């Protein structure tokens, strides 16, 4: 089991400074009034994973309001490679542009990006903002899928960002009516990145579906997953190079159309993740709010199991307000699933009574206005 033994925050959100001693606890429960900083604390942990954290915040947004723009998150972890100290943050004020970039360190030695943290620790999360996943925009489901894919390949996020940059370059060139040779070069790179991104998404969905199929008897209903997009349908049966060439042809043929639209209209950046509720034979988008929540929890738990199968180490789970809208039966089932998984879980909630079932075996922490205290 990978776990965070000690977490330290400095100038992060509403925390001027805070330290949480988790030790060997499997479940850490943060309770307290709304606005006290429960979500801020687990957001800090999410910065020990690639990306912008569970709120997708900018570097400026997470800095303490009355500070100089610097902030830091550090954790002593017992992870896949044993004991290590992971740290990230901004070292100087934002008026110093040269030093306002996020730094990452492992055992106090600089590393290139948060992707390096994945060698030690995998972090996944579920937040209330994700409750509308099945009825929201396709872009939200793509972002959710890309977060899942990071467990398969920690460099996936870098490729997604590179694809976004390549598409922006193509759109800009189309608006400027450049030499066709420039467009050919940009479209060549775009197709390579597009197929790499789509391929890993296909692999992730396939791997996750196998885990879901093995858990058909779970209290959290299993789902069937599919990717909606011609490239994703071709990749399982066609060589990647052939799909690249086909996409380059699509880009060439659609230059006039895309120029008129001001954007590239075809590719994995417009694909969608389709989720089907098996037990009721319906799309997840047509299920009730409670059923959608249960489906989402089932997906996140399956993702945790997939990480465990692939790496041999359980991930750290960040579960924000997860029990607030679960009935007692589902709450009990969730605690049972987490215990069976064996992962360290950080859970938040305003009402301590909702955690009465696990209070005797969890580390219970009280959060008040940026302060964290262990409950007696």
Q: What is the pLDDT of residues 279-334, one digit of tens each?
A: 899 999 999 999 999 999 999 999 999 999 999 999 999 999 999 889 999 999 99
Residue 200, pLDDT > 70, answer yes
Specify the DSSP class assigned to residue 63: B
Confidence of residue 97 (pLDDT cuts 50, 70, 90): low
Which one, of 282, 319, 269, 304, lies nearest residue 131 by Cα?
A: 319
Q: Which residue matches tokens 């400026």?
A: 60
Locate all alpha helices (DSSP H) within 137-179, ordered by sequence. 138-149, 156-176
- What rounded mean pLDDT belongs to the chain? 93
- Rounded CA-CA distance 283/262 in Å is 32
Give the CATH fold of the 1-122+313-376 domain: Rossmann fold (3.40.50)
Q: Residue 66: its pLDDT value, please?
A: 81
Confidence of residue 91 (pLDDT cuts 50, 70, 90): confident
CA diameter of the chain: 71
What the block records as the tokens of 139 is 């872009």
Q: Residue 93: its pLDDT value, please?
A: 56
Which one, of 54, 57, 42, 52, lies nearest residue 7 by Cα?
A: 42
CA distance readout (Å), 301 to 41, 133, 143, 346: 21, 16, 18, 14
Percent of the chain exceeding pLDDT 90 equals: 84
Q: Residue 376: its pLDDT value, please?
A: 65
Residue 146, pLDDT > 80, answer yes
Across the range 345-373, mean pLDDT stands at 94
In sequence order, the β-bridge partners of residue 94 are: none
- Rounded CA-CA distance 363/41 in Å is 15
Q: Other C-beta atoms within 10 Å of 36: how many?
A: 21
Across the range 104-125, mean pLDDT stands at 94
Q: Residue 98: its pLDDT value, please?
A: 52
Domain residue ranges of the chain, discontinuous segments joined by +: 1-122+313-376, 134-311
Residue 199, pLDDT > 60, answer yes
Residue 42, pLDDT > 90, answer yes
Q: Which residue matches tokens 């047509």?
A: 286
In sequence order, the β-bridge partners of residue 71 are: 90
Cβ atoms 248, 194 nearer than 8 A: no
Across the range 264-272, mean pLDDT stands at 97
pTM for this prediction: 0.92
- CATH class assigned to 134-311: mainly alpha
- Better-scored residue on pLDDT, 69 or 199: 199
Q: C-alpha angle 335/337/342, rounded to 5°? A: 95
- Rounded CA-CA distance 132/140 in Å is 9
Residue 173, pLDDT > 70, answer yes
Q: Residue 177: its pLDDT value, please?
A: 76
Q: Residue 100: its pLDDT value, please?
A: 72
Confidence of residue 151 (pLDDT cuts 50, 70, 90): confident
Across the range 255-264, mean pLDDT stands at 96
Least confident of 93-102, 129-138, 188-197: 93-102
Segment 329-336 long-range contacts (CB within 8 Å, at least 24 positions apart): 329/219, 330/219, 330/220, 330/294, 331/357, 332/357, 333/219, 333/220, 334/220, 334/297, 336/219
Q: 91-127: string of b/e by CB count within 10 Å (b at 16+)?
A: eeeeeeeeebeeebbbeeeebeebbbbbebbbbbbbb
Q: What is the pLDDT of residues 8-33, one digit of tens each?
A: 999 999 999 999 999 888 999 999 99
- Rounded CA-CA distance 367/293 in Å is 26
């Amino acid at each position: 089991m990978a776990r965070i033994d000690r977490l330290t925050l400095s100038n992060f959100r509403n925390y001027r400074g805070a330290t949480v001693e988790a030790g060997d606890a499997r479940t850490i429960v943060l309770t307290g009034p709304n606005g006290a900083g429960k979500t801020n604390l687990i957001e800090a942990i999410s910065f020990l994973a690639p990306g912008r954290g569970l709120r997708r915040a900018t570097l400026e947004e997470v800095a303490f309001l009355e500070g100089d723009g610097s902030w830091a998150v550090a954790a002593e972890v017992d992870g896949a490679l044993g004991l290590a100290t992971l740290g990230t943050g901004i070292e100087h004020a934002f008026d110093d542009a040269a030093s306002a970039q996020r730094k990452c360190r492992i055992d106090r030695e600089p590393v290139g990006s948060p992707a390096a943290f994945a060698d030690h620790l995998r972090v996944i999360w579920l937040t209330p903002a994700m409750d509308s996943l099945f009825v929201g925009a396709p872009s939200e489901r793509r972002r959710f899928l890309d977060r899942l894919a990071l467990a398969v390949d920690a460099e996936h996020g870098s490729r997604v960002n590179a694809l976004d940059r390549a598409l922006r370059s193509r759109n800009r060139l189309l608006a400027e009516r450049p030499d066709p040779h420039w467009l050919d070069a940009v479209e060549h790179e775009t197709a390579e990145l597009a197929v790499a991104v789509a391929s890993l998404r296909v692999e992730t969905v396939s791997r996750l579906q196998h885990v879901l199929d093995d858990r058909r008897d779970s209290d959290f209903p299993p789902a069937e997953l599919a990717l909606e997009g011609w490239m994703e349908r071709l990749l399982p049966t066609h060589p990647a190079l052939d799909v690249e060439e086909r996409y380059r042809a699509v880009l060439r043929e659609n230059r006039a159309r895309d120029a008129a639209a001001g954007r590239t209209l075809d590719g994995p950046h417009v694909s969608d993740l389709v989720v089907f509720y098996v037990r009721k034979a319906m799309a997840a988008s047509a299920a009730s709010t409670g059923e959608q929540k249960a489906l989402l929890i089932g997906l996140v738990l399956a993702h945790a199991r997939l990480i465990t199968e692939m790496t041999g180490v359980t991930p750290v789970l960040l579960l924000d307000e997860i029990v607030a809208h679960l009935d007692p039966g589902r709450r009990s089932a969730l605690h049972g699933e987490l215990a069976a998984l064996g992962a360290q879980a950080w859970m938040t909630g305003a009402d301590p009574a909702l955690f009465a079932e696990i209070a005797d075996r969890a580390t219970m922490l009280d959060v008040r206005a940026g302060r964290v205290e262990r409950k007696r």
